Amino acid sequence: MAERPAETIYVLNGPNLNLLGTREPEKYGHARLADVEQLCVQTAAQFGLKADCRQSNREGELIDFIHEALTKKAAGIIINAGGYSHTSIALHDALMAVKIPTVEVHVTNIHAREEFRHHSFTARAAFASLCGFGIEGYRLAIQGLAAKIGVKATA
């Protein structure tokens, strides 16, 4: 019996997430973006999935990644659009256009923070949204995405 090739999920991180570990560690913790990416790769592998992790401080580049996910037939998207979550109709529209199962993640609880963070355009384009779990939210997002697309853990 042939093994099925690993399906790819895109893990997209937006502005300032490259500063994880040093930016306001009292809010965001001490884990670095490299730690997030390692967590995602390991969690995805448990489901026979490949995590393609990317970060950009530029809105247009994040949109290009979303479009590429469609072209490459990605199985899903995990997105932490950072501050763009609260401002970017363009990211919302890109996620809606590609129709790829998407989970939004935030390291902090955006609903316990400033009022302007309580609304998320990207959440409206996702089937689920997680916030406040720290970087563990990424693991939970991948587990939820796997369940949504019907992939079970291999180990």
Task: Please report the DSSP string for the chain in residue order.
Answer: -PPPPPEEEEEEE-TTGGGTTTS-HHHH-S--HHHHHHHHHHHHHTTTEEEEEEE-S-HHHHHHHHHHHHHTT-SEEEEE-GGGGGT-HHHHHHHHHHT--EEEEESS-GGGS-GGGS--TTGGGSSEEEESSTTHHHHHHHHHHHHHHT-----
Q: Is 19 a domain residue? A: yes
Question: What CATH number is attached to the domain comprising 73?
Answer: 3.40.50.9100
In a domain, 33, yes or no: yes
Q: In which domain, by residue range, is 20 found?
A: 7-149
Q: How many domains does the chain have?
A: 1
Q: pTM for the whole thing?
A: 0.93
With respect to residue 2, please indicate whether it lies within any of the assigned structural domains: no
Q: Tell whether 78 is covered by a domain.
A: yes
pLDDT in tens, the chain (155 residues): 444 445 999 999 999 999 999 998 888 889 999 999 999 999 999 999 999 999 999 999 999 999 999 999 999 999 999 999 999 999 999 999 999 999 999 998 887 777 877 889 999 999 999 999 999 999 999 999 999 999 999 86
Which residue is catalytic, options 10, 84, 106, 138? 106
Q: Which of 10, 28, 84, 138 is catalytic?
A: 28
| Strand partners for 54 | 12
| 49 within a domain of the structure (yes/no) | yes
Does the residue 155 lie in any domain?
no
The reply to whether 98 falls in a domain is yes
Q: Respond yes or no: is residue 106 known to be catalytic.
A: yes
Which residue is it, tokens 């949504």? 148
92 is catalytic: no
Residue 7 pairs with which residues in a beta bridge? 49
Residue 47 in any domain: the answer is yes
